[in-house]
Chain A
């Protein structure tokens, strides 16, 4: 008994050290975001004893690019998630409650579209967007990200709906509930946690998506991924300010991600790991 208690203390200590090491680059950048540019590049680096400043955040927030990029990120991630869910909800609903012989094949086909790497689709999409004026528009990115996340949303919702006992819906129907009442009054409250976590996971993936968002936007629709990528130019190497901009760019989805991390496993493994 004593030795097992001792070993769990050791394991806990080791786990904390390892977890802090994993999160260290983020904590380090968080620290740098409060330094002056001079302190941010100082060798040896200062840990706590520096003049803490909010100047970097002020500088990033007062720049016009950040506001525009944030707006684009919210529009693109929000719009694509809404579209993905808007299409996935009816599809998952039908497949879960009125399965046919083709349901399994449809589900697997949806999953298989995820296997087309974006790089295999880049050229036709780019040319098509160039010719139809969809390049550098919100709608253009929204369509791509919605299509990319639709299989994940459909699978998560399908698994979620399947957990709602069909008898309850049956009973509601027997009691004379219309289809609309069945969905809005009976199904929705039960499926709401699943809907919310699906939306948030898809939103997070869309927020961070960095292949399409860098390739089909330039200025008007450029989201935060493009805003940050622009800091890679040599003249933009202000580390403290880069750190502050980075923290601002990742904060919203980091918080959302913390809340839906458990659903993440199911969503990204298509239910194969429980």
Chain B
């Protein structure tokens, strides 16, 4: 009984059987939709039109690129990701540096800082939109009135920035926690040696700490980018779309829901996938390196 169990071939066989269910679900949930989207993007497919779905080569892409909403959506996608990355990593790094040095109540500090990450996007977006950013009764309006400035109607004047702020609030804890974890593994002896050699605080940060953080920052950039590419709920509950705030994800949704144009929507989906793969290429490489280590 026990001899075949330990044989290498048996183990490998059993291993495959145990991995198979997970692989099958992932295959079904990734390759099937990916290839379907690819196929839809080159056929003429409208929900309300009957008849055969003719092959139209790149006509859907042409129609998509020519649509008035496409370029803004592309720029909004990039703008949103850029703004959220800049704010969340900047603020997250600042917070991490502070939390690392704090001496009282570190556990509670972490709880306060991590909390926004666990707030579901519709809640985050609606609380910010109403309680904080609403120009008449929101807190920001009242604060700017105190300072003698006219209250800003965020979602009318700068909808994309407003949405980016909300998303950045949610992702700052993520960046902070990862950078904090990495800071805590930073070699103290190295820092002390540098300080003994007369290196100032800034020099230590610039030449020792920052290089140490390069990889975690790269990983934060890539993980956030993957998630932010599909940012949807924040737009859905605040502006409900429109050229000023729709990203690619929202464009796909509205192409299907309002235009019934599966072909063009699929083309937009493929554009998002291409962009994600560009980012993913680097992420998989970085993580693969950590497997070898």
Contact A12 B280 (CB under 8 A): no
Chain B residues with a Cβ closer than 8 Å to the other chain, count: 105
Residues of A within 8 A of B26 (CB): 110, 113, 147, 150-151
**Alpha-carbon separation in the docked complex, A17 to B99 (Å):** 11
The stretch of A18-26, A53-61, A131-139, A187-195 in contact with B is A18-26
**Alpha-carbon separation in the docked complex, A228 to B249 (Å):** 20
Contact A90 B249 (CB under 8 A): no
Contact with B along A1-14 (1 / 0, CB 8 A): 00000011101101
Contact A232 B238 (CB under 8 A): yes
User: Does more than half of chain A's interface fall in helix, strand or loop, or is it mixed?
Assistant: helix
Contact B276 A28 (CB under 8 A): no
Residues of A within 8 A of B141 (CB): 43
Contact B283 A228 (CB under 8 A): no
Contact with B along A114-130 (1 / 0, CB 8 A): 11111111111111100
**Alpha-carbon separation in the docked complex, A35 to B260 (Å):** 44
Closest approach, in angstroms, between the C-beta of B272 and any C-beta of chain A? 5
Residues of A within 8 A of B177 (CB): 261, 264-265
Max count, chain A CB within 10 A of own CB: residue among B37, B136, B173: B37
Contact A225 B14 (CB under 8 A): no
Contact A15 B22 (CB under 8 A): no
Max count, chain A CB within 10 A of own CB: residue among B25, B123, B127: B123
Chain A residues with a Cβ closer than 8 Å to the other chain, count: 104
Contact of A119 among B95, B132, B215, B229 (CB under 8 A): B229
**Alpha-carbon separation in the docked complex, A11 to B109 (Å):** 12
Max count, chain B CB within 10 A of own CB: residue among A122, A147, A261: A122
Q: Beyond the given A122-B33, A232-B238, could you list 6 further A-B residue pairs with CB under 8 A, ordered by the A residue number? A: A8-B102, A15-B99, A40-B131, A120-B33, A128-B36, A269-B219
- B residues sitting closer than 8 Å to A (CB atoms) are 2, 5-6, 11-12, 14-16, 18-19, 21-23, 25-26, 28-30, 32-34, 36-37, 40, 94-95, 98-99, 101-105, 109-124, 126-128, 130-132, 136-137, 139, 141-142, 169, 172-174, 177-178, 181-182, 185, 215-216, 219, 223, 226, 229-230, 232-233, 236-238, 240, 248-249, 252-253, 256, 262, 265-266, 269-270, 272-273, 276-277, 279-280, 283-284, 286-288, 290-291
